[in-house]
Amino acid sequence: MANYNEITITGTSWTRCKEVYITNQYGRTPGIIFGEEKVVILDDTASTIPSKDEIKVTFEANETFPLLNSSTGEPTGTTYTHKQLYEILYSLYITSAKARDAIVAERLTAQGNQ
In this structure, the answer to whether residues 75 and 24 fall within a common structural domain is: no
Domain residues for 97? 60-114
In this structure, the answer to whether residues 5 and 29 fall within a common structural domain is: yes
pTM, 2 dp? 0.80
Indicate the number of domains in the chain.
2
* Residue 30 burial by Cβ neighbours in a 10 Å radius (0-12, 13-18, 19+): middle
In this structure, the answer to whether residues 35 and 65 fall within a common structural domain is: no
In this structure, the answer to whether residues 81 and 42 fall within a common structural domain is: no
Q: Which of 39, 49, 33, 35 is nearest to 15 (CA)?
A: 39
Q: Which pLDDT tens digit goes with each residue over 75-92?
A: 999 999 999 999 999 999
Average pLDDT over residues 51-77: 97
- Percentage of the chain modeled with pLDDT above 90: 84
Q: Which residues pair with residue 14 across a beta bridge?
A: 39
* Distance, CA of 61 to CA of 53 (rounded, Å): 25
Q: Contacts by 81-84 with C-beta closer than 8 Å and gap 24+?
A: 82/57
In this structure, the answer to whether residues 24 and 47 fall within a common structural domain is: yes
In this structure, the answer to whether residues 100 and 114 fall within a common structural domain is: yes
